[in-house]
Structure 1
Amino acid sequence: MTRLILKNSFLLLLIMGRNMQAQDWPNLNKYQNQNSMLPLAVAGQKRIVFMGDSITEFWSTIDPDYFLGKPYINRGISGQTTPQMLLRFRDDVIALHPSAVVILAGINDIAGNTGPSTIEMIRDNIFSMIELAKANHMKVILCSVLPAYDFPWKPNQEPIEKIKALNVILENYSKANNLLYVDYYLAMVDERIGLKAEFSNDGVHPNKTGYQVMAPLAEKAIALTFLK
């Protein structure tokens, strides 16, 4: 009888855990404590939030020196797609009162991480994040999607043309709306139209060398943003 009760209790906890995870689809809980403990930006400080997926999240782990001593806040979440980022944009960006946001998003939508997505769906989610940022008086730095020949966790998706098409949209939107555009794609693409082998261990995520290519491009855009 005791064993049955314990088994049932374990199953209930497992179900509750799964339900809680399902209810927090955008993963608002991930940074909730850090956000609540974040002090207000000091006068004159240009706080910048990096919003994205694993490529953003892992940057702080693989090349932590880039963020050291700077008012940069990493709010990347591995595996996320643009609808998830849009849902948490208020909590993980707006509520932190940054001067600017760096948006790098779209590759997981193309991989189909949360189901099929058209380029137009991805575009609209990214544009909505930008509109929210502007409405809350912050600068926007928009980044190209990095090149990828294929996805190791979900092969045969043929992402090359989709990535190219999305980047054309993002670059044109940046020009039309006077936004800084960071072209990681051009700096990191190889002859196969994938990510250069020296910049990645899996063809999708940058290694330290890859992040060291990205860093000066991001820094240049950040500097130019505050000259406008």
Structure 2
Amino acid sequence: MTLMQYSTRQLLQTALFGFLFFNIVSVQIHAQDHFDSRWITTWATSPSSLLPVDEDYQVIENQTLRMIVHSSVGGDSVRLRLANYHGNQPIQIGTVSIALQAQADSIQPGSSKDVNFSGAQSVTIPRGAVILSDPVSFSVPELSNLTVSLYLPNSSGFLTNHALSNQTNYISEVGDHSSSTNLPIASESPAWNLLTAIDVINDNAVTAIATVGDSITDGWGSTLSGNQRWPDHFARRLFADDSIANFAVINAGISGNRVTGEGNLLFGQNLQARFERDVLALNKITHIVLLEGINDIGLPSMEGGESSTAEEIIAGYRNIIARAQARGIRIFGATLTPYEGAVYYTEAGEQIRQEVNHFIRQSGEFDGVIDFDAVVQDPDRPIRIRPAFTEDNLHPNDAGYKAMAEAIDLELFR
């Protein structure tokens, strides 16, 4: 071997070693970012709409989605969770950004940060898959509105979404406007599309409460875009009370959702099917509040079917209780609120509600009880919501949701 051949070989070995070392170190550093024990979910939503059989759905192509979300705990780094659970094809994300909302579709100037995936701006999410973004250095204030903008360069197919967010979101005119201060709006949307969770790094010893349920947890009947759902009120109450630790408060409610089955495609998979994905997969959950079952009773009567029995709903509860407690999570049962006067009220359904509430209050199988029924019922007609608390005799209004949050015994979370 000549000196030149030896030197060339040595240089190649050195270069190869350097390349491998750099990539190994980069992978380790990147992995350590995600393994950081301080990650906590500050916001989440549960995908609802299932793929329609008739293929009649809105398609996004060469447009930007801008979604407005509300944080609970703050942090100094952020990562996003995007999902294509219910899509009918792989979906390409062109660019993603996160920013602080100014008002409506506008962001605070200078607040926008690009979000990458394994170092790249663009990513394709396989059908049925979920992805995490790279961590981004971004200051997330507590109890504040953020915007997440997604540019979709190609035809989206069916979008996994939370259809009824009770929040106005935006779809742009043609083009990538993910970092634009003001979005050129083509239309408004009630849906949170593709985005399912936001995690932050928080230096405090803080954990998360997951509020699990249907439209009453989702906030239907509260002021649009006002963050007046009962979990929003509860988060503000916790943060205002110096006698108790702060918690992230995460909303896993889906309007129309049921414990035992499905009906309308807008209302998602039944709770037992979605529980792992929508609740247990989130970061640092230590407590769950479960308020669900009224749609198992009421919706079938509007669909020509029979209501779930109390025994069927209770069996569903026991499944959820066991899976939560197996993870060391404390789970509190919330009583089903009154619904006389609602569009799907029946006397037979009311009897089922009473049987379910008796189980919640008396069985001892939950780790605690939150008696929302007692909070919102009309003292003169207990099977009906107090008139000042509702517009439709089923869903509380802002005042009703606030009363629910104010009535929760904080000792459950100490």
TM-score bucket of the superposed structures, by smaller chain: 0.7 to 0.9
By how many angstroms is 1:136 displaced? Answer: 1.1
Alignment partner for residue 101 of structure 1, among 281, 288, 291? 288
Instruction: Please name the residue that 2:373 is paired with.
Output: 185
Deviations 1:64-85 (A, max 9, x none): 5513565101111000111311
By how many angstroms is 1:46 displaced? Answer: 2.2
Amino acid in structure 2 at the alignment position of 1:15: D
Matched, 1:86 2:125: no
Q: Determine what percentage of the aligned residue pairs are the same residue.
A: 26
Residues 215 and 195 of structure 1: CA distance in aligned 2, closer, same or farther (over 3 Å):
same
Residues 185 and 61 of structure 1: CA distance in aligned 2, closer, same or farther (over 3 Å):
closer
Question: Quick one: distance in 1 between partners of 2:338 and 2:403?
Answer: 14
Question: Quick one: distance in 2 between partners of 1:16 and 1:34?
Answer: 22
Amino acid in structure 2 at the alignment position of 1:46: T
Alignment partner for residue 299 of structure 2, among 112, 121, 128? 112
- Report which stretch shifted further, 91-100 or 47-56: 91-100
Structure with the higher helix share, 1 or 2 = 1
Question: Quick one: distance in 2 between partners of 1:178 and 1:103?
Answer: 10
Question: Quick one: distance in 2 between partners of 1:41 and 1:133?
Answer: 24
Alignment partner for residue 390 of structure 2, among 200, 220, 223? 200
Q: Structure 1: 5+ residue runs without aligned partners? A: 1-12
CA contact (8 A) 2:214 2:292 kept: yes
CA contact (8 A) 2:221 2:395 kept: no
Q: Structure 2: 5+ residue runs without aligned partners? A: 1-51, 58-85, 88-127, 129-159, 163-191, 240-246, 261-269
By how many angstroms is 1:112 displaced? Answer: 3.2
Question: Quick one: distance in 2 between partners of 1:40 and 1:170?
Answer: 35
Question: Quick one: distance in 2 between partners of 1:123 and 1:178?
Answer: 11
Question: Quick one: distance in 1 between partners of 2:221 and 2:197?
Answer: 20
Report which of the two structures shows the higher radius of gyration computed on alpha carbons.
2
Question: Quick one: distance in 2 between partners of 1:225 and 1:196?
Answer: 26
Equivalences, count: 205
Matched, 1:210 2:400: yes
CA contact (8 A) 2:222 2:398 kept: no
CA contact (8 A) 1:52 1:103 kept: yes
TM-score, scaled relative to structure 2: 0.44
TM-score, scaled relative to structure 1: 0.77
By how many angstroms is 1:45 displaced? Answer: 0.8
Q: Considering only aligned residues, what root-mean-square deviation do their CA atoms show, in Å?
A: 3.1
By how many angstroms is 1:156 displaced? Answer: 4.1
Amino acid in structure 2 at the alignment position of 1:48: I
CA contact (8 A) 1:103 1:140 kept: yes
